[in-house]
Structure 1
Amino acid sequence: MTLWSSIREFSSGTPATSASKPPIGLGWRSSTFLIVLTVNLAIFTDIFFYALIVPVIPFALSSRAGVAEDQVQQWVAILLACYSLALFVGAPLAGMYADHSSSRRWPLLIGLVSLAASTLLLAFGNSIALFVVGRLLQGFSAAIVWSVGCALLVDTMDTAVGVAMGYVSISMSVALLIAPVIGGAVYGAAGYYAVYYISFGVIGLDILLRLVMIEKKVAKQWTPEAAQGTRPSNSNDRDEEKFAQPQNESHVGTRGLDDGMPPVLDSAPSPQPELAPPERKPRSALVILIRSRRLLAALYGITVQGSIMMGFDAVLALFVQDTFGWNSTAAGVIFLAIFLPGFVSPFVGWLSDRYGAKWPSVSGFVSAVPILVCLRFVTENTIGQKALLAVLLALLGTALAFSNTPLMAEISYAIEAEEVANPGCFGDKGAFGVGYGLFTMAFALGGVVGPLWAGYVVASAGWGTMGWSFALFSASAAVVGVLWLGGPITKTDEEGEEAGGG
């Protein structure tokens, strides 16, 4: 075996030759537990690093990149926009590459290289250009992790897709919860580089798991049947068989045509074989999915949920500082109220797997409406109103968990329903990578819309107006969900599933 073959076998997990020996620990390395753990750690690492440096970047811009104090806020916003832009553009590209790759492990490793490069640039960069490139690479890494990671979970989980997406929500919530606190505390106690030492430690563990993990479909190629030559063929093998078959059939009943002899004619006319209709070339998965109202409804809901959640990230700390006089530590603690309810996400995912995504998600958006409106009653620095804010945020966090987790699972439900309605429409590779690339795009769009919406509305019209305007946004997602999630409302659940969203 050549060096390149060995590297390719190790990187993809697939056997390079028929004589290749199965990897050590193939069973536990391809177990559902390890794959789910690896994907969740990858998502945790991405969000953790994103949030860890949020309290550090403003200081780094002035002390390391030489940005003037009056321009720091502007460049912080630009760097956030760079991350969102790379995430928005890179997600569908990463999804399409993952669907056409022989292994989802390859793109995950590419994302890891991008994350490592981003960490190095942000840690040791001393110019604004390096910071911009670092944020772009970080966004590109996130695009790969979310698109490919969620698709890999769908590949792994047969029926419990919603539960798996619930654990993804927990990973994201935990990272958003602890990273800013750790980043600020470590920066204040040990300095700038110490913050990145933590990042390198988490990334090191992430590297280990991504290299150890082997996909289930790849693990099947190492079975005894595969070693005997019955290993599932790749797409190239299937193409060769497809083109070879008509050539073999073309010689039936034509003996003598190819050897210069007159053709032998049967005394009785033989029935003409029915010609199979020409095989249709699969359309682009992206085109098929963006024409699905069911999928578009899920993407709209994800954008709304992301906008509301990220909008509070932009204004909540400043609101409690101005209203209650809280310092940064107390402001960080109040985020516990909105993120801790995210731990119900696996239960919500189980409900989605059992009853469908429509009603859990719609109930979440509907419940968020009165909660967001009631935020207008928090106006004074009293114990009662502090408690009221905490309760409202906890209820809002629960509502967001009910609205978001089913939508993450609905992506896979919609793709599977489209495949049932039009068999073979996505070809041999499927479309889960593209589907979750679109999901990541929608969430990135929410990350842009939400902070801008919340910031401008609070500055111009106040906290209460932001609350009821977000309530209208949430209500619109509920209406769209009732109409199209799980298939059109005019059809029964069974018909809606068969139609794949109409």
Structure 2
Amino acid sequence: MSRPVWLSLLTQHGENPPWLLKYRSSEGFIIGTVALAVFTDMFLYGVIVPVVPFSLQERSHVSEDRVQYWVSVLIAIYGASLLAFSPICGWLADHTSSRRSPLLLGLLALLGATVMLDAGSKISVFVVGRVLQGASAAVVWVVGLALLADTVPQERLGQAMGYVTAGMSLGILVAPLLGGVVFDRAGYNAVFSMAYTLVGLDIILRLLLVEKKVAARWLPDAPKRTENGTSSRGSDLQGEEIVESSYANTSKGGRSAINVEAGLEEDTASPPSPERTPNTPNKRLRSRLPPFLSLLYSRRLLAALFGALIQASLITAFDSVLTIHAASIFHWRSTGAALLFLPLVIPSFLSPLVGYLTDRYGSRYPTAIGFLLACPPFVCLRFVEQNTIRDKVLLCALLALIGFTLVLTFAPIMAEISGVVEDKEKRMLESGQEGYGKGGAYAQAYGLYNMAFAGGCLVGPLLAGFIAKYRGWGTMAWVLGLLSAATSVPSLLFTGGWILRKR
């Protein structure tokens, strides 16, 4: 007796294959689902930004002189929650048999947060809602990126991360504009009607999603994992020794295998040193540590995390200073000042192209060049100081250049995190160790990435705000420029492995 279609959508472990299995487990569908999840997260974060100040006054009866304080607190709570839940989500995701289940739990947390922010009237309810929102964001960014690393081979992962970056940018771009316009025209409830519609669509796609390792039970051409950790597609390889990204049978609780070509050089995080000798105390200690901590021994990963920290700091620095500076110089109100963020965000839609170039030429040079080229436009912001057409055009042009240069860093750094895990596990398997086990370490690595990015979101606005307040706009501009240029040095030296190591 055949099962109803709706039951086939939810069930992935019966004898018969799920409905439309080939399409639901395809790379394109999984990439689209993760990109939509990121867009949904950023949209729900940003759509309430122009609404919260009015909600605090009208619903929570907060006095006007305390609104700015509570808005800042609620923003900080979101960042703190994102920072705190990222390592937890990474550890749990690598110790469960499915990426899909945590993604669905994260979506429930996001739905709960939206209901609280919609129906709540007390500050305490808003606080809990923001905590849930931060926890949901941690799930999306950690588990979602780990799912992409499981699904997409390393040689195409940069482009996949580019689509995720484009989803993030689109959410950042349209959410505050739609939130403000809909709130002014249709009211508070209409804003959250958009949120519920988007969450509903996200629920459908996440329920439809079938992970590759689940699909491997029914698709005969799906790669299988061998005993030594490598993988094979069978006779179609025609004798070539290739180690591909593969998935074990779900009865064995498999996960993605190593995705490197046999004979590829051992790419390391640093030059050879005595600490690499297997018998040293440091090596023995490192092998006993959980992946979340042992990964931090990699200078290559530390360079990527530092890049993510500075990347987020530079982007979010404008949140605390750009609107105020535009209001004081050009006498613009909130709408005009908000439009200044458009030239900063629009270049992010080039992320898929940057990801494609990363897949072809590696992460090192796009990342280093992006940080280095961002320095001049940051420094030149100090010349925007008068209420003239020339200064307005100059400001928009500089913001567009900053957005374009920094977009060179997003997809490469995201792909680099996966590359570090893959190379480290390859070396572990070659030395006879068990690797990171069936759960792997992708989610924990992206948990570290998410922590670094969340830290930048906290540091950036504070750094730029305090410097602008006590030293002026010009000083803030060259400090951010020098910080960006300095970040290009470790990116050049360690991204993709120690630059002086012989290939």
1:114 and 2:124 correspond: no
Partner SS state of residue 18, structure 2 = coil
Say if 2:213 and 2:250, in contact at 8 Å, map to a contact too. no
Name the SS of the counterpart of 1:160 in structure 2: helix
Residue 455 (structure 1) aligned with residue 465 (structure 2): yes
Question: Using the alignment, how far apart are the partners of 2:78 and 2:441 within structure 1?
Answer: 25
TM-fit CA distance, 1:67: 1.7
CA contact (8 A) 1:301 1:477 kept: yes
1:165 aligns to what?
161
Q: CA deviation at 1:422?
A: 1.7
SS of corresponding position for 2:293: helix
Query: Displacement, 1:222?
Result: 3.0
Distance 1:315 1:237 in 2: 48
| Match for residue 353 of structure 1 among 356, 359, 369 | 359
Q: Per the alignment, in what secondary structure is the counterpart of residue 194 of structure 1? A: helix
Residue 321, structure 1, aligned to residue 348, structure 2: no
CA drift of 1:196 comes to 0.5
Distance 1:234 1:53 in 2: 44
**Structure 1 contact 294–487 (Cα < 8 Å) conserved:** yes
- 1:464/1:225 Cα in 2 relative to 1: closer, same or farther (>3 Å)? closer
Give yes or no for the alignment of 1:72 onto 2:78: no
CA shift for structure 1 position 440:
0.9
User: What is residue 13 of structure 2 aligned with on the other side?
Assistant: 15
- Given that residues 283 and 426 in structure 1 are in contact (C-alpha distance below 8 angstroms), is that contact kept between their aligned partners in structure 2? no
Which among 471, 474, 492 is matched to residue 482 of structure 1? Answer: 492
Other-structure match for 2:21: 26
Cα offset, 1:329, TM superposition: 2.2
Query: Any idea what SS the aligned residue of 2:501 has?
Result: coil
Aligned amino acid, residue 330 of structure 1: G
SS of equivalent to 1:103? coil
Q: CA separation of 1:358/1:223 partners in 2, compared to 1, >3 Å: closer, same or farther? A: closer
Deviation (angstroms), 1:233: 5.2
Q: Please list, as runs of the form range in 1=range in 2, the aligned pairs for 1:340-489 lying within 5 A after superposition.
A: 340-423=346-429, 424-489=434-499
Separation in 1, partners of 2:323, 2:187: 23
How much has 1:421 moved relative to structure 2?
A: 1.8
Q: Which amino acid aligns with 2:426?
A: V
Contact 2:59 2:122 in 1 (8 A): yes
Structure 1's 466 and 188: CA in aligned 2 closer, same or farther, altered over 3 A?
same
Is the aligned partner of 1:491 residue 2:486? no
Deviation at 1:193, TM superposition (A): 1.1
1:251: which partner in 2? none
> Aligned AA for 2:163?
Y
Deviation at 1:223, TM superposition (A): 4.0
Does residue 94 of structure 2 align to residue 99 of structure 1?
yes
8 Å CA contact 2:214–2:250 kept in 1: the answer is no
Deviations 1:453-487 (A, max 9, x none): 11111111111111111112112211111222111
> Once the 2 structures are TM-superposed, how far is the Cα of residue 325 of structure 1 from its aligned partner?
1.6
Match of 1:270 in 2: none
Residue among 127, 134, 143 paired with 1:132: 127
Given candidates 76, 82, 88, the residue that maps to 2:77 is 82
Kindly provide the CA deviation profile for residues 108-143 of structure 1, in whole angstroms up to 9, marking residues without a partner as x.
000000000000000000100000000000000000
Moved more, 83-92 or 65-74: 65-74
Deviation by residue 1:61-96 (Cα, 9 ceiling, x = unmatched): 111112222111111111111111110011111111
Contact 1:221 1:232 (C-alpha < 8 Å) held by counterparts: yes
Quote how far apart the aligned CAs of 1:428 are. Answer: 2.1
* 1:177 has 2:183 as partner: no
Distance (whole Å) between structure 2 residues aligned to residue 21 and residue 202 of structure 1: 31
Specify the alignment match of 2:341 in structure 1: 335
Contact 1:282 1:427 survives alignment (8 Å): no
Sequence identity (%): 47
Q: Distance in 2 between matches of 1:294 and 1:89?
A: 23
Q: Distance in 1 between matches of 2:16 and 2:423?
A: 38
Deviation per CA, 1:24-66: give whole Å up to 9, x if none.
Answer: 1111111111111110000000000101101111111111112
Q: Is the CA contact (8 Å cut-off) linking 2:36 and 2:167 kept in structure 1?
A: yes
**Are residues 68 and 235 of structure 1, via their aligned partners in 2, closer, same or farther at CA, if it must alter by over 3 Å?**
farther
Contact 2:310 2:487 in 1 (8 A): yes
CA apart distance, 1:236: 6.9
- Asked if residue 55 in structure 1 is aligned to residue 65 in structure 2, the reply is no
1:373 is aligned with what amino acid?
V
Question: What corresponds to 1:44 in structure 2?
Answer: 39
Q: Which residue of 2 aligns with 1:232?
A: 249
Partner of 1:277: none
Letter in 1 for 2:56: L
- Aligned counterpart, 1:209: 205
Please give the alpha-carbon distance, in whole angstroms, between the structure 2 residues aligned to 1:292 and 1:10.
41
Question: Cα distance 1:181–1:225, how it changes in 2: closer, same or farther (>3 A)?
Answer: closer
* Root-mean-square deviation (Å): 2.2
Which sits farther off after the overlay, 217-226 or 42-51?
A: 217-226
Q: Which residue of 2 aligns with 1:258?
A: none
Q: Are residues 237 and 203 of structure 1, via their aligned partners in 2, closer, same or farther at CA, if it must alter by over 3 Å?
A: closer
Instruction: Provide Cα deviations, 1:265-316, integer angstroms capped at 9, x if missing partner.
Output: xxxxxxxxxxxxxxx9874111221111100100000100100101112221
Q: Report if aligned partners of 1:119, 1:134 keep a CA contact under 8 Å in 2.
A: yes
Deviations 1:399-425 (A, max 9, x none): 110122211111011111111222233
Letter in 2 for 1:366: L
Summarize the Cα distance change of 1:120–1:490 in structure 2 as closer, same or farther, 3 Å threshold.
same
User: SS at 1:101's partner residue?
Assistant: coil
Between the aligned partners of 2:95 and 2:423, the Cα distance in structure 1 is 21
What secondary structure, in the 3-state scheme, does the structure 2 residue paired with 1:221 have? coil
User: Which sits farther off after the overlay, 45-54 or 318-327?
Assistant: 318-327
Letter in 1 for 2:199: I
Measure the CA separation in 2 of the matches of 1:447 and 1:237. Answer: 35
Q: Does 1:141 align with 2:139?
A: no
* Alpha carbons 1:55, 1:183 under 8 Å: kept: yes
Q: Does 1:287 align with 2:293?
A: yes
Residue 374 of structure 1 aligns to which amino acid in structure 2? C
Whether the aligned pair in 2 keeps the contact of 1:92 and 1:438 (CA below 8 Å) is yes
Which residue pairs with 1:265 in the alignment?
none
Aligned residue type for 1:96: W
